[in-house]
Structure formats: C-alpha cells, structure tokens
Amino acid sequence: MSASLDMDALQAFVDAEFRHQFRSVVDMISQPVASRVDQFTCWPGLVLEATEDEGRRLILSFRTNPSKLRIGEYVYVNDAQARPEEILSGPEGTISEIDAPRGRLIVASGYQQGPRFQRTFRLGQRLVLDQMLPGARHGRDMPILALRLVAGEFGSAPRIDRIRSFLEGTLEPGPSGLAPLAAEDDPELARLTPSQREAVRRAVEEREALIQGPPGTGKTHVLGLVVRELVRRGQKVAVCAFTHQAINNVLAECLRHPDIGSVAKIGGPTSWADHPADPRLRIVPRPAAFFRQKTVPDVAGFTQHAAFNPVSRALDEGALQALPDRFDVVVFDESGQLTLPAAMMAMIQADRWVFAGDHAQLPPVVQTHRPGDGPAVSVFQHLVERTPREAVLLDRSFRLNAELATFPSRSFYGERLSSAPSAAASRLELTRDHMGPRAAILDPDRPSTLALVRHQGRGQESPEEAALVARLVHDAIAGGVPPEEIAVIAPHRRQNVKIREFLGRLGHAGAHPLVDTVERIQGQERDLIVISMALSDPDAISAESEFLFLPNRLNVALTRARKKLVFVASPALFRALPPRWAFEAPGPSPLEALNVLKRWYFLHKHAAIDATGIAREELAAFEATGPDGTAPDGPKERRATTSQ
C-alpha cells in the first residue's frame, strides 16, 4: 500500500483554508457589535482598570465572556464606540490572562504595537476585543514553503527524500540502531501494560513508530518514558504538537524523570502558569532566540510553526544551506489533529519520528473540506490508513469503567479496548437523598444514562436542557462530587453560555465545573460528564449533521467520563437525517456517521429517563428568579412536595 502525495492538492488546501478563515473574519468584522457577539468573535463590555509594563499590558475588568476568545488569541483592541470599518485599524494584542472568577483580563500588546497601546488607551475607557485576521505567514506561507521543500523544489537532501517516502508509504521500516529496551530491569517499564511496553520498544528500537492512544490509555505517560529512554541513549528529542497544552503535558511528564537533564519550552503564550517549578525547565518565548542558542537541551517542546522558523528564515534570506541538525528524534503528540503540511513543518527538524495520536478522536479543524477527507486528513490517519505502517494500539483504558468502555471499544477500536482492572468497577461516589426525581439520572450504578427532554424548534440553545444540566451539576456537587471532577459538554458555545449562566445563578461561577465544547475538552477527563446536545429543530439538526454526528466527535464526548456519563438530548435528535446533498457528495457516507449515534441510542433507549417535566420545572424556576435571583432552592422544595 502506498499513498502518493499530491503536493498541488495540499497547497490548494492550505490556501483555501487560509482564504476561508480570512474571509470569515473580514465578513464578521464588518458587522455591528451585536452580530459579532452573536458569532462569538467579539468581547464587549470591558473596562480598562490599570496598565502594566509602561502601558504595554492592559488590565481589563469584565462581567462575562460571551465570546470564544481565549488565552493566546490575537485580537484587535478598540474603543467600545468604534465603528465596524475602524476595527481593523485598531491596535493589535494578545490575550495573556483570563481570570473569570475575578472578572479580570490581561491583554499584552502585539509585535511592535507597544507605543500604540501607550498612546491610545486611558483608564476607565470602555473597550471591545475582536478576533484578529489570521496571519498569512503562519496560516499560509509557512505550510506552503514546507510543502515545496518536501516536494524538492529547493533542492534534494536525504532527509527530504525520507520524509516524502515515509509519507508516501514507500520507506521500508528499519531498526533505529539504538540499544534495545531492557524492560525487565526497570520498574517503571515493568509496570506498563504489554501494549504500552511494545509502544516504548518500537519508539526506541525502530526508526519510525506509530502509537495509537485511545482515551485514558496512558499515552502521555508512555511518551514520557519514550523520551526518557531516547535521552538515556544520547538522543536529543523534540516534542511537537498542535496545541501548547499538549506539548506542556508531555514536557511535564518528562520532568518526572531525573535522567532528563534539561527541558525547554519554546514559543506560545508566556503563561504556562502551572508549569512545574523545576530548575531543569527553561521557557524561551521566541523561537528565533532558541534556534540561535548554541546549547541544545535534552528535550524541547514547540509547535510546528516554531519548528519551521529557522528553515523559513533561511529561505527568506536567500537559500537554505543545510537542514536543522539539533535534534535526533521528533515526537509528535496529538498527531491525529495535525494536517500533513503541519507535520512536514516539524519533521524537517530530525531524521526520526514517533507519531502518537488517535484518528478515532477529533480530526484537524478544517472549514473547506469534510473532516478527514482528501487533503484534510491528519498525518496520523494518513499513515495508518494509507501506508503500510501499523500502529501499536494502547488497549487498556485507565479512565473508563467497564460499562463506559464497551461502546467506544466496539464502535471505534474493533473491540480491542478494555477497561483496566483498576478502573473497571469504579463508580461515582455521591449521596442522592436531596435530589428527588433527579436521583435516577445521577444513579452511580448506571454509568451511562440517556435523559430525554422533549422540546421543539430549538437550535444551538435549549434553555430547558441548560436548566436541567445546571441543576444536575448542582446536585452532584451538593452530593459530594468535587466541582473539579465535573465537566459539561455541549456542541455549541451558545448552549455553553446558557449553562454557565444558570450555573452562575446556582453559585458555580468559577472555572469549575468546566463547561465547554468537545474540541476544547479533548485530552481531559472527569468523574462526571454531562453532555447537552440542545438541538431539536429537524432542519437545524439536518444542516449540522456532519458536525454533530461526526463519529470522532461523539467518541471524544463519550470517553471523557471516568465513572458516570449523562447524555441529555431531545428525542428529535435521534430521528434526524443528514441533508440530501450530503449523500450525493463525494467522501465518507454520512449515513455511517449517523448510525453510530443511533446505535448508541438503541443501546440506551430502553433505560432512558424522560426528564422533560424536571427540565421544564427547573427552567420555570430560573425564569421566575431572573438573572440576579438568589432563590435556587425554591424549586427544590416545590419538587419535594410534588414527588411526595
């Protein structure tokens, strides 16, 4: 099996993605504030309270964040009265800190924007943030340069040829030449499951390795040991991922091992706020500075853009004299979310590669293609499905209890995933005496519960579901589940905003429990997960079916819970069909995707709980109290009466 790389198609894909992003931001910026807020690209209602660093950092206060803007996001900062056509000329900055409980936000000035920050803003001024246009250099030019480099347009080199033949599936597997793994002599390696040990062995002893890590199977732990073993054998290791969070997780795991002498984190938001206080760790904000330094740490973590920085600079300045030679191995984490061009940008850094990821979880975020289709495929999926390489599947989940592991194992992992003995029988610990009829929904002995709420015509927001979910979370906390061990997942931000509003009224306004989209919660886990799907309008469901029923998204949502999963939805969701055009378009069949959800429904419908009455009662109570109401216990008393 081989997969020829269509470099033209990949370039067109990169270009189309960039244009789409650019166009969508431009279109949004020309809208009034209300429309921008409606699409979550604008954060209004900010007041400048103070400045730091001689006016280069703004400290702003806020009441709520109605936008999707997060830490690390590049934004335009403007006066609240700015007209739409003035937004693009506003000073540019980066969100460097969001303290939601205290309503405090810090925006740092962008590159060469310090003086504009200093002279533009005054204390007490009301400001608004808008999502910035994507930069052409990062979004388009660098990936296309990488594609052209790998295509051999700037000359030939053994590494370039290896990258191409590896991705095309024509590179024969071979030994790495490093000392073999001696697992029996090492207590940490001895404790690994057989599949984990095999993954470490392949990463060390073979030239290239693929590790598939389903949810909770200890992928990060395995990667930490892979890096440790490589460093023990004198290798310099680069850790690369799509997000800084994923990189930081692997680096933190590396720091557990005393054999690793030095670790560097390059680029990204300066606030790796909870990084380990370890003298071996060095944070270098700018990639260029890191690649100028002569000393090379044992392990360095960076994104693909930072990895490609020295190459793109060299190409900018004339010619590329030589490929980077600071690292021996690049270890990719979350490579199921990394596109082929993005992977190539980092593969340039070394001759050997270890890819860890899971193509059954979320694919790369793309707008112009169906997820996973054609050039939008992730590098991990490409290697597993289109080349002869075989991935080691980590087959024991230390997260999911036995019941929660059954469905994902059958639907996504060929029945090869099982719950580790330590997790198999785990149950949520909570008291339910105070819950009334809601106790059945949170029953710990039914790890997976479908709660149906009958509503109609709802789009991305269902207040009924939001009220029920908020009350269930409140119940769980009152029953003894720590807020840090609860997360709520909804496919749309609009529903998340509603749930947060109701949770706030019940006294849970902080960062915990976490309420977010599936995309934001991949890689995390909680004891209790509540999913709220919100939609009940058949047209809206049909129009969004590709997004809603993507099996990978469903897999991620269903596998975040360690002990208990509550799936809240309208019955209309399960009768939805994709739009007709979806069946006639090229690419994977949407019917297959739909079937995954419907199969889950059939497994759960006999024990489903009709929570319509409870949801309506809760919503009525919220509506009766108003936004600043403080009577969340009112309906509970009424409910107690009703249940008697």
Partner 1 sequence: MHEPAARAVTGNVIYNYFSHPCGYRVHLDLHGDRTRRDAPGPAGRYLMERGNRHEAAVFAGIRARDPEDWRAIEADPTLDREADIARRIEATLDAMREGVRFIFHGFLTTLPGEVVESRPGGEERESPLVFRGETDLLVRVEEPSAAFGAWSYQVGDVKSSRRARFAQKMQVAFYSWILERRQGVLPREGFVVTGEGRRERFELEECIWTLRHFLEEEIHEYARAEDVFYQIEPACGQCHWRSHCAARAADDDDLSLVPGMRRADKRTLLAAGIPSRGVLREQDDATLRALGRSFGRKLDGFRDLKQRASAQDFGRALVRQAPPAEPGARRPRTPDLFHHRGPLLLVASVPDFYDGQEAVVATALLRREGRRLEGSAGEDRLTFLRQDPDCERLHLFGQFLQHKDEIDRLLARRRERALPVFLDRRAAWRMRRNAESARHAQVLQRAERLVSDAVVLPEVVERHLYLPRAPQCALDLAAAVAAGPPPAGGVFAEGPLEAFLGAEEATAIRARIDALAADYGLDAEALRGPDEDLRAIWVKEWRAGGDEAWARLLEFELGREIAAGRSVLERLLEWVK
Site residues, partner 1 (CB under 8 A): 6-13, 15-16, 19-20, 23, 26-27, 30, 34-35, 38, 83, 85, 368-369, 374, 450, 452, 456-461, 494, 537-540, 571, 574-575, 577, 580-581, 583-586, 589, 591-592, 594-595, 598-599, 601-602, 605-610
Nearest 5°: phi and psi at 75? -140, 155
Whether the CA torsion 212, 216, 222, 224 is positive or negative: it is positive
Smallest distance, Å, CB 341 to partner 1?
Answer: 13
**Angle CA 559–560–563, to nearest 5:** 90
For the bound state, the minimum distance from the C-beta of residue 339 to partner 1, rounded and expressed in Å, comes to 15
Report which of 427, 437, 373, 383 is spatially closest to residue 403, judged by C-alpha positions. Answer: 427
Q: Are strands 126-131 and 104-109 parallel, antiparallel or unpaired?
A: unpaired
Task: Specify the residue, 339 or 419, whose C-beta has the smaller distance to partner 1.
Answer: 339
Residue 346 CA to residue 344 CA, distance in Å, equals 5
Q: Least separation, in Å, of the C-beta of 28 and partner 1?
A: 11
d(CA 510, CA 527): 18
Give the shortest CB-509-to-partner 1 separation in angstroms: 23
Strand partners, 448: 565
**SS3 (DSSP) at 280:** coil
The minimum distance between CB 553 and partner 1, in angstroms, equals: 18
Cα–Cα nearest to 599, from 631, 643, 554: 554
Whose Cβ is closer to partner 1: residue 336's or residue 571's? 571
Provide DSSP, 449-482. EEEE----S--S--HHHHHHHHHHHHHHHHTT--
Distance in Å from the first CA to the final CA of the chain: 66
Q: Which residues pair with 212 in a beta bridge?
A: 357, 393
**Closer residue to partner 1 (CB): 24 or 118:** 24
As a whole number of angstroms, the distance between CA 552 and CA 531 comes to: 15
**Residue 400 or residue 450: which is nearer to partner 1 going by CB?**
450
Q: How far is the CB of 137 from partner 1 (least distance, A)?
A: 19
CB of residue 607 to partner 1, shortest distance in Å: 7
Q: Residue 19 or 257: which CB sits closer to partner 1?
A: 19
- Nearer to partner 1 (CB atom), residue 10 or residue 58: 10
Between CA 188 and CA 191, with CA 190 as vertex, the angle to 5 degrees is 65
The Cα-based distances of 236 to 229, 230, 325, 352, 508 in angstroms read 11, 8, 10, 11, 45
**Shortest Å distance, C-beta 312 to partner 1:** 22
Residue number with CB closer to partner 1 (379 or 497): 497
Sequence-separated (6 or more) residues with CB below 8 Å from residue 172: none
Cβ 9 to partner 1 shortest distance, Å: 4
Residues 42-77: b if buried by 16+ CB within 10 A, e if exposed: bbbbbbbeebeeebbbbbbebeebbbbbebebbbbb
In the complex with partner 1, the residue whose CB is nearer, 66 or 213, is: 66
C-alpha span between 434 and 324 (Å, rounded): 63
Shortest separation between residue 34's beta carbon and partner 1, angstroms: 7
Considering the complex, state which of residue 394 and residue 576 has its C-beta at the smaller distance from partner 1: 576
Cis amide bond preceding 101, omega within 30: no
Q: How far is CA 523 from CA 215, 393, 484, in A?
A: 8, 17, 15
To 10 degrees, the CA torsion angle through 132, 137, 139, 142? -160
Which residue is associated with the tokens 């979370």? Answer: 473
- Nearest to partner 1 of 150, 251 (CB atom): 150
Return the number of the residue (85 or 172) whose C-beta is nearest partner 1.
Answer: 85
- Beta partners for residue 59, in sequence order: 50, 106
- CB 85, min distance to partner 1, A: 4
Which residue number, 7 or 472, has a Cβ lying nearer to partner 1?
7
CB of 259 or CB of 592, closer to partner 1:
592
Q: How far is the CB of 175 from partner 1 (least distance, A)?
A: 37
* Minimum distance from residue 619 beta carbon to partner 1 (Å): 12
